[in-house]
Amino acid sequence: MARSRLTPEREAELYAAVLDLLREVGYDALTMDAVAARTHSSKATLYRQWGSKAELVVRAMRSSKPLHMDRIDTGSLRGDFLAMVSRVDDCQVEKDSALMRGLFHAVHHNPDLHQALRELLVEPEINGLHALLQRAVDRGEISADGSALKYVTHMLVGAFAARQLIEDLPPDQAFLRDYVDAVVFPALGV
Amino acid sequence: MARSRLTPEREAELYAAVLDLLREVGYDALTMDAVAARTHSSKATLYRQWGSKAELVVRAMRSSKPLHMDRIDTGSLRGDFLAMVSRVDDCQVEKDSALMRGLFHAVHHNPDLHQALRELLVEPEINGLHALLQRAVDRGEISADGSALKYVTHMLVGAFAARQLIEDLPPDQAFLRDYVDAVVFPALGV
């Protein structure tokens, strides 16, 4: 594997530089040349490791903001949701949400970025969420045919989107914890 | 009032032309010159009536997609929500959501559009929603101190956003009706 040639430290360094550049100039103006210059690596190396700017940027995002739902398994639904919320970094959330908003807008005219975000960032989290809910069903905590089960993603997306777009506030841990208790658990019949 | 000089028919005709242009070229490329040419009016008239491109576009949006929550009052919470859902035009919803997405992206670099959308489109609907919920509280249908009451907007925003962005499906009436029954009513304790 080409990627294995980079040490984890070097990879983390590269991702941090990509995110810095992204905050400075935005997705559209970010070039592989600039990443190469900033990280003292060659463009050939970057393309060999990541294939495209879209993939490099999304992997950098994923490394910096890892909800990693698939790694959450506390043994109870409440524990899992609290673990999820506690992975939100209150200090980072504002900085990152500006960055996410910028990426989200760039998606509009960058289909490859759209695909990378979907495949590398959104789908793994949604699959992790589904597995987490399935375990709660298997433990008998929630019903397999509850009508809200298929809408947990919608509820959570709403929390993040409305908090930022309408309330103009960061979706911090205190807000998310209250929202999960007020909306998600009652809808799931917990 | 300058605006009263236009007949409602003429106003509707102008708004329709603005939305056509918006679908054709997008917000950034839409000019007052193009609107004037398309509608056989003068730019001076357009600016006198609407003040700015942002206000003209948002008023055109509002005329075409009128949820008008503030005009919904059926006498019950369930009736009000069903009335709200029934105002969604399934045939229009896909066309309009492309248009809304385009506007939403243009907001990123057009603060005046952001402000007009917020003041003329978002806030009136949210105020209408709050009034609708307050009447349900007054009738004793839901509790004034229910913890989900302040999150109804978040739940609804989530329905629209996740349906389009993650499921890649239009938020049509059947979906919205199911979502309200599965998520909003249980969270409100109805």
Domain boundary among B25, B41, B62: B62
Task: Pick B158's closest partner by Cβ from A126, A159, A182.
Answer: A159
- Chain A CB contacts of B182 under 8 Å are 147-148, 150-151, 187
Alpha carbons A2 and A11: distance in angstroms, whole number: 13
B163 and B75, same domain (yes or no): yes
Spell out the residues 6+ positions from residue B188 whose beta carbon is closer than 8 angstroms to its own: B77, B142, B146, B148, B149, B152
A92 and A171, same domain (yes or no): yes
Residue A104, pLDDT score: 75
Task: Pick B154's closest partner by Cβ from A108, A153, A158.
Answer: A158
Spell out the residues 6+ positions from residue B1 whose beta carbon is closer than 8 angstroms to its own: none
Which of 53-82 (A) contact B at CB < 8 A?
A: none
A116 and A151, same domain (yes or no): yes
Helix residue ranges per DSSP H, chain B: 8-25, 32-39, 43-50, 53-64, 77-86, 90-107, 111-116, 123-138, 152-165, 173-179, 185-188
A101 and A136, same domain (yes or no): yes
Residue A61, pLDDT score: 87
A108 and A177, same domain (yes or no): yes
Alpha carbons B97 and A107: distance in angstroms, whole number: 16
Spell out the residues 6+ positions from residue A37 whose beta carbon is closer than 8 angstroms to its own: none
Question: What's the mean pLDDT in B21-26?
Answer: 88
Residue B65: is its pLDDT beyond 70?
A: no
A82 and A147, same domain (yes or no): yes
Residue A66, pLDDT score: 66
Most confident listed range (A57-61, A113-117, B9-13, B151-155): B151-155
**For chain A, how many structural domains are there in total?**
2
Question: What's the mean pLDDT in B62-70?
Answer: 79
Domain boundary among B62, B85, B107: B62
Contact A121, A61 (CB under 8 A): yes
Residue A89, pLDDT score: 78
- Chain B CB contacts of A183 under 8 Å are 148, 151, 154-155, 183, 187
Q: B104, B143, B151, B179: best mutation site toward chain A, by most A Cβ within 10 Å?
A: B151
Which of 153-182 (B) contact A at CB < 8 A?
A: 153-159, 161-163, 165-166, 178-179, 181-182
B84 and B152, same domain (yes or no): yes
Domain containing residue B73: 66-188
B8 and B99, same domain (yes or no): no
Whose CA is closest to B101, among A103, A107, A100? A107
Residues of chain A with pLDDT under 70: 1-4, 65-66, 93-95, 97
Mean residue pLDDT of chain B comes to 89
Residue A1, pLDDT score: 44
DSSP string, B16-33: HHHHHHHHHH-TTT--HH
Question: What's the mean pLDDT in B54-62?
Answer: 92
Most confident listed range (A20-29, A118-127, B64-73, B75-84): B75-84
- Residue B1: pLDDT band by 50, 70, 90 thresholds? very low
Whose CA is closest to B152, among B121, B116, B118, B189? B189
Nearest CA in chain A to B152: A183
Percentage, residues of chain B above pLDDT 70:
95
Residue B153: is its pLDDT beyond 50?
A: yes
Q: B8: exposed, middle or buried (C-beta count within 10 Å: 0-12, 13-18, 19+)?
A: exposed
